[in-house]
Structures are given as C-alpha cells and as structure tokens.
A and B are shown apart, each in its own frame.
Chain A
Amino acid sequence: MDEILKFKANDLRAKICSGEVKSLDIIKSCVTRIKRTDLKIGAFLKLNEAKSLEQATYSDKKIKNDERSGFLEGIPIAIKDNIMIKGESMTSASKYLENYVSPYDATVIEKLKKSGAIFLGRTNMDEFAMGGSTETSAYQKTANPWNIKYIPGGSSGGSAAAVSAGMVPFALGSDTGGSVRQPASFCGIVGYKPSYGLISRYGVCALASSFDQIGILSRSVKDSALLASAIVGKDYRDPVCEPKDWIDFVSYIDNDIEKLKAIKIGVPKQLFNYKIDAEILENFDKAVNKLKFSGAEIIEIDIQAYKYVPALYKVIMCAEVSANIATFDGIRYGYRSRNARNLDDEYTKSRTESLGYEVKKRILFGTYVLSAKNYYRCYHQAQKVRTLLINQITDAYKRCDFIFSPTTLQMPVEFGEVLQEECDIFLIAANLAGLPGITVPFGFTNSGMPVGMHFMGSRFSDVRLFQIASAFEKISGFDVNKYPEL
C-alpha cells in the first residue's frame, strides 16, 4: 500500500497547502488502490477517475500559484450514492433510480465544491439506505475489508469499506438508525452522526425525515471533525436545520486526555439486559477501565425506555418511509414499467419491478401503521414512547455528560446471515432523540475483527463529543495505521 494513503486527511491538508504533497499524486494513489482492491471489496458503485485527476491538477496549480485555496483543497472524498451532485447519477443503490441524473447539488455538496474537495466516486449502500449490511443494494455486494466473508455493515457500507481499506481518507454517509456508525464500527474506523439539525439534509434522498442526518466516516476523530467543519452550517432549504453559526470543530481538538478528567460517563444498565458478544463485552470492560484510569467517573444510568427502541424505531421509520418513497411512482422520472396498461397498473408494475424486497416490506409496514384503523395503536403510540425515551435520556444527562456503550452488541456476520434486532439499539436511540453520536475503534477480536465504542452526547454538544472521542482515541491503544491485508 502506497505510503501517501496512510496520511490522515488533516495531514494531507497541511502537506498539500505547503506543496509537500501533490493532490494529483494522492488521487493517483487512491485510484490505483481502488483498482487493485475494490474488485474484492465492491465499495464503489462509480469511480470518477478522469474528472478527479483533472480537478487535482487544477488544485495543484492553484496552490502553486498561491491562489486562494479551499478548506479541503485537493483532498479526495467518497460520497454515498444517496447524496445529490448536479449532473451526476444518484441511484440510492436502487434499480428505480438506475438512470437518474441529479438536477441540483445537495447543500453539503455545494459546500464541499467550494472547499475544493475532490469527489472520487460514489459508494455502495443498502437500497434507499434500508438495511444494515449493504446487501439490499440492487447493484453489488460490499465486503468487509477485515474479512471478505463478512458484511461491512450498512447502510453506508460502501463508504465504511472504502475508508477502512485505505481507498480514500474519508467519506460521507447518511445515518437514520445507525447507518454510519454501525458500518464504521464493523470496519474499524470512526463514524460520526451529528445532532439532528446541525447539518442540512437538503439533497439527501430521504429515508425517514425525522431521523436522517448526513454522517462522516474517517480514520480519525480529527478527520471527522475536519469534514464536519466543511459541511456544517445553517441552511434555509432545510427547515429543521438550526440557524447556528459556522463551527471550526478541528480547532477544538487537541488530543488532550486531561479532558477525560472529572468527566461523567453514563453507562446504561439496560446494556446488560441483552445478549452481547463476549469479545465485545471484554473490550467494553477494558474501555471502561481505561476511562476510569484517565480520571473519568463512570456512572450507572437507568433508561428503561431503551427496551422499546427497536419497535418504536420500526414504526416511525417505516411510516415516514411509506410516504417518502411514494414519490417513486414511475410517472415523472425513474423506472417505468413497459408492461403497464393503465394508471394503476403503471404504479404497481413500475414499483414491483424496480423496488427491492426490504423496501417493499417497509412500505407495507409503514402503510399499515398509518392506516386509520391502526394509527393510534401504532404510530401515535410510538410517538408517545419516543417522547418518553427523550425525557428519560434528558434526565440521564442531568447525572452524566456522555452515554457510553459498545457501538454494536454483535460482530459482523457472514453474508446472508441476519443481525439481531437489538444489535444497534444504542445507535438508534441517538436518531430517535436527535442526539450526536460517534463510534471510535477500540480493539480487535481474536479473529482480527475490529470492535468500536460509542459515545452519545446531548443535543448540540458536538464540539465536546469530538473532544472526548479524540481523547478516548488516544487512550484506546488502537493502531490507526493498521490496514486490512488486501
């Protein structure tokens, strides 16, 4: 593996600016790495080789001529295939959008274009981000770089695998119910989901609007902070996006492990109600001890509503899915059946032929929970329980600063096997409550698979979350320079 690929995005940024490293060389290395390894992994749906090389040459010229360079000038980034880039395809890994071309830029893409970042390619995902293994993609499977028999997690599995395999320094994903953090953990990298309303959702193909957030996958906490700084900010085009001023997250990160002193870390006692993989539990105990050793106070917290998380997530998410996916009807764009005889037939056949099993299942379930007969019993009840969960979490934050847990309760499974429903509940809780969460790789199992730990902060505590995660990263002893052998 090319040494240049081992630099973190923050280092690349400094080296490109000083002229020490050329953007063109980085892109060339990335392309070579992708060409050599991605046949095995299947992380990318599309590689923008020619355009990336062209952009890199332009960035290098700008830097050489001392022209004003952007925040991420010349740095490659991979984009999950559900984010709009004007003039480019956007499939959301669905057959329905096979030939769709984005007519506009997502807000984050607009910002990244201004920053001079280079969109190296589009990464694979579960169809419309529905899934936790990237297996529901209509196009290809993505393998876990640490063991290609295993799933990379999902739905942002392509982004996670690409970063993990050293194909690109960082990537954008989207996180509706752990879809950035779970694959990041499975692939041994950092995964960050911002507070709901911190980053504009405009231009992200909607899954469940009240949970969706763009997230970041990177090799270090500081790299996540760097990319977050490039895309954060108010946006009138997303009404739930809070009118907050721009934050330079990177400037707050100093790897200072002193930050862990006198901090209160809450561990939910509900964690132990579940079947947890033994090696994950072992690593978790180690992590807790390291935190204690660094001066953090560990507090047991009680959030009884955690037990409702899988059910209430499923009800609300599917309800929103059923409405959001309704626009894919074969009428204005996307897949249209050639066998339809009338309007209803066109709807039915276009959707039947182009949408996958998981998507159909969620549409049906969402339609069921919203029907007049079931609305109060299912959807309305779930919203009430959601409020209960939020209240219990808010109460818990009166006693602690962060909630700490293993990222997942299970290790990645082989293709075709199913993860248990509870696997991601500590991640989903963050989506249900609109809170920021970050997974940091901590150790490896005996079979060489990575294990991640998860911090969840209170709403808009993202700066402190980065600080704590960065300090934890330092004490974890995880070797970020270790790459899977491919």
Chain B
Amino acid sequence: MINYEFIIGLEVHMQINTKSKVFCECSTQFGSEPNSNTCVICTSQPGTIPILNKKAVEAVIKTGLALNFNINKESTFARKQYFYPDSPKNYQITQANPPLCSKGKLSIVVEGKEKVINITRIHLEEDAGKLVHEIGSRKLDYSLIDLNRAGVGLMELVTEPEISSPEEAFEFLSELKSIVEYLGTSECNMEEGKMRCDVNVSIRPIEQKEYGIRVEIKNINSLSGVRDAIAYEIERQKEVLDSGGKLIQETRLWKAEEKMTKSMRSKEGALDYRYFPEPDLVPFELSDSFIEGLRKEIPELPKARRTRFIKDYGLTEYAASYLTSTKAIADYYEKALDYLEDKKVSSQLLANWISTELNAKFNTSKLSILESPVSCQNLAKLVSLILNGTISGKIAKTVFDEMFKNSSSPEKIIKEKELAQISDEVIIVKICEEAIFESSKAVAEFKSGKEKAIGAIIGLVMKKSKGQANPQLVNKILIEKLKK
C-alpha cells in the first residue's frame, strides 16, 4: 500500500454585502422578480460605462485586513473575456495583478492542533447572471436569463495549496465564514449562492516531491459538501493510482445527491481569457488613512472573542466555540448575560440553554437568532428563575416551549400555567402523606430494605403536584416519613 499526501487548495467566492451592485446603482436584493434589479449598465447597453462602488472596495479591504493581508494601495481592474449568455458584456470585470489584497493567512484548529493556512489573494470582481432552464417542474426547450445577479460584487479568495485533509478544508471555510460574518462584508450563505467554493485536489505518494495531477471540483453548495467532495475525490484518485491508472487534469462536478464527482471537461483545451487592463476604470490609489480608517471598523473577531469567553465567563471550550460561531449568537449571549446578576454562576447555564434548547428550536423552525421569538432578556429571566429555585430545570423546558411559541415572558407563563415550584413544606407533607397512603406495596418493599422502591412514591408525588413539587424537599420528607 502506498501512503499518499493530499494537496488541497480552495477558491472561495463571496458575494459582497452592499446595497447596490459593484458597477451600477441596481439593488442586490436576493429573490426579486427576474430582471427587476437591472439597468442599462448591468445589461450592457451600448455606450454604458461601469462606475465603481466604493463600499465594495471597502468590504474587500476590511476582509483582507481581518485575514492579515497586505493591502495593495495601487490596484487596477482587468477584463476577463469569455462568451456566456449570463455575462452581458461577454467579459467579466475582475482584477489580475495586483489584486486588492495579497498574502494573508488564517489559523485553524483541527483535532486540537493549530495550523496556519496561507492565502494567496483576495480580489474584487463582478458576478454573472443566472440561466433558467425550467419553470417550477416544467422543463423549457429554451433558456431564460435573469440578470438580477449580474454585476453584484464578489470577492474571490484563493488559498495556497496547503490544506491537507477534508476536515482542514471544512475548518478553514467555517472559520472564514465566521470571520466574514463578523465583519458583515458578506452573508456567506452557501444555499443562496452567496458563498461558493471550488476545490483543487491532487494527491502524491508521501516521498514524491513534485505535485500530482490537479483536479478542480465545482458545484459544491454546502460546507459539508466541500468536506464530502474532497473525501470522495481523494479516494477516487487513490483508486485510480493504486490500480495503475493515470489521472487527467480536469474539472469535475460534485453531485450532492449521488455523493460523487463527475467529469465536466478536461483542462487540455483550457480557455484563453485574454485578460487586459480595463480601460473604462482608472487605476485607483488608496491612502494609508483610508486603510487605517477601515482597520478601526473591524470588530472583535471570533477567535479573540472565544478566548475571552473562556477566560472571563469560565465557559467550556465547546460552549465558547458554539457561542462565537456567529457574531449574532455571541452578541445575543452577551446581551442576555448583562441581565443576569451573578455572572460567574449563571454564565455556563445560560450558554447551555443557548447551545442546546434555543439551537434546537432554530434548527426545527428555520429561524435565525436575529429572528428569535425569545428575547435575550426573557432567556436571562428564565435562567435566573431556575437558579433561584422558582422552577425546576424540567419545568423550565415547558416554560421555554411557551416562550418560543408566544414570545412571552417566563414569569407570565409560570403564573398563568401555575408552574412555579412548590417549596412550601406544609403542602408537600400533605401530598407525601397522600402518596404514602396510596402506595402500600412500595411502602412495604421500602420498609423491608428495598430502598429503590421510594422511586415509585416520588413519582406519584410529582404526578399529584403536576411536577411542581421541589424534588429535594419531596425526597427529604418521604424518607423522614417512611423511616419513622
């Protein structure tokens, strides 16, 4: 058996989060009526000229700064030429050399080990439109073109071929996504196509110096898809080489349903894009103060925030990672924590509620944390009600369900549904006496030494009290009574 080394590089396209397109004033709103977000510029009418959107440049630079890039103060645009109906000019305005950002890096943690991945470049370019081949389930015998997306700003990030496993690629993208979401420079939604990732994979025997044949994989539309596609492709390439076959340089498509890659085209007739400098846009020069101004706008990034959460709030690594995975969740957590008195005691419990109960609700309801029906203040209240013994953890879950359903406060729900924990001894003694009276068999067993039999009696007490009796008190009182 030959041992192989895997060489993986990523090309990530992220739609820049600006209100208008990168070279015209059209809206970038996703899901609008086809061709409603278009104008004479982005449909390439004769005589039109692109106008650069400054906000898009700012977004790329901010992203570059957050990833430790060098910002090239003098940058130009280029025309990349190819004919395709979704590209109205039949060339794409992009950047050749120098790009806006060169030489960045991102550190990731895989299986407890830290690794730095170098990133070659980030450049600014425009997106293409979309071809439509079917309406609903009806296949068309012609194609329609929707140019709403044509001219939306994209940043393309290209890594060095330094990723060596599907897990590393997954981690890299998760970390990248999280940073970019923190910056707000892209929504990075892979399902809406706002983040797209092409993967280059090659393998070589460990002792071999030169690179193997590189295969590009396109059409991946989820983070786990990237991981699965790489894992599949590595196995495929191994099988070809182990069976004495030869790999060819080609582009393959990831088929998510079949969980396999399929050949799309070989690279031999590689396209000549005939790049040349874009004459309609003047080369731009960025001042140091402009760049430094953007640096000041960069918020605390996920890694720093994670470390701070562990240090300041005593959270577990897992909880801190989950909470800082998006800025919205971390902000929610810190806002909720602000409402709580004793942060040292409440921080972990609050974290648990967000990462388990709230997270589960989002998964089933498809809502995001920004749309959460449970406000931070209400979740904080719920946690303090648990901590002060007003309700048990179990009741809290019932209360929480109501809170998520009706956005109401926990106090209101507890009052309306009479869910407050009963800690009044007189009442509990009375219920316990009733339960003992009705459980003669269990009582007899207990008295004969079978201590476990008390469970049945506790169960009856909880049933009679609709789960509201304070479990510690019930336990204590029953033992007192039974041992008399």
Question: From B273, which residue of chain A is reached at the shortest CB distance?
Answer: A372
Task: Give the total of A residues in contact with B, Cβ under 8 Å.
Answer: 43
Interface residues of B, count at CB 8 A:
28
Report which of B46, B51, B90, B274 forms a contact with A206, defined as CB distance below 8 A.
B46
A367 to B91, CA, bound (A): 13
| Shortest CB distance B98–A (Å) | 16
Dominant secondary structure at the A interface: loop
A258 CB to closest chain B CB, in angstroms?
39
Give 1 or 0 for each of A103-132: 1 = CB within 8 Å of chain B CB.
110100000000000000000000000000
**30 pairs of residues in contact across A and B, judged by CB atoms under 8 Å:** A82-B47, A84-B47, A90-B46, A92-B46, A102-B45, A103-B40, A103-B45, A106-B47, A201-B47, A202-B48, A202-B49, A206-B47, A210-B279, A239-B49, A239-B280, A239-B282, A319-B276, A320-B279, A322-B81, A323-B79, A323-B274, A326-B90, A327-B46, A329-B85, A332-B43, A332-B88, A332-B145, A333-B45, A371-B272, A371-B274
CB distance from A209 to the nearest CB of B (A): 4
Q: Which residues, 189 to 236 on A, are CB-close (under 8 Å) to B?
A: 201-206, 208-210, 236
A327 touches B81 (CB 8 A): no
Minimum CB–CB distance for A378 against chain B, Å: 11
A313 within 8 Å of B (CB atoms) = no
Q: Cα distance A332–B40 when bound, in Å?
A: 12
Is A361 an interface position by the 8 A CB rule? no
Asked whether B49 lies within 8 Å of A84 as measured between CB atoms, the reply is no
Q: Given the complex, which residues of A lie within 8 Å of B43, measured CB to CB?
A: 332
Q: Which residues of A contact B (CB under 8 A)?
A: 82-84, 90, 92, 97, 100, 102-104, 106, 201-206, 208-210, 236-240, 319-320, 322-323, 326-327, 329, 331-333, 343, 347, 367, 370-372, 375, 379
B414 within 8 Å of A (CB atoms): no
Q: Which residues from A are CB-within-8-Å of B46? A: 82, 84, 90, 92, 97, 100, 205-206, 327
Q: Which residues of A contact B280 (CB under 8 A)?
A: 209, 239-240
Of B43, B91, B272, B276, which is in contact with the most chain A CB atoms at under 10 Å from its CB? B276
**Pair B90/A327 contact, Cβ less than 8 Å:** yes
The answer on a CB contact under 8 Å between A238 and B47 is no
B368 to chain A, nearest CB (A): 37
B residues bordering A, Cβ < 8 Å? Answer: 40, 43-52, 79, 81, 83, 85, 88-91, 145, 272, 274-276, 279-282
CA distance A331 to B150 in the complex (A): 15
**When chains A and B are docked, how far (Å) is the Cα of A100 from the Cα of B40?**
13
- Chain A residues with Cβ under 8 A from B282's Cβ? 239-240
Residues of chain B contacted by A97 (CB below 8 angstroms): 46
Give the CA-CA distance A367 to B271 in the complex, in Å: 13
Decide if A329 touches B90 in the complex (CB within 8 Å): yes
Q: B128 to nearest A CB, angstroms?
A: 13
- How far, in whole Å, are A332 and B46 apart by their CA atoms in the complex? 12
- A102→B88 CA distance, assembly (Å): 17
Contacts of A100 in B (CB 8 A): 46
User: A348 to chain B: closest CB distance in Å?
Assistant: 10
Q: Give the chain B neighbours of A319 by CB distance below 8 A.
A: 276
Residues of A within 8 A of B91 (CB): 323, 326
Cα distance A240–B284 when bound, in Å? Answer: 11
> In the assembly, what is the distance between CA of A121 and CA of B49, in Å?
25
- Cβ of B45 and Cβ of A236 under 8 Å apart? no
* Nearest-Cβ distance from residue B151 to partner chain A, whole angstroms: 13
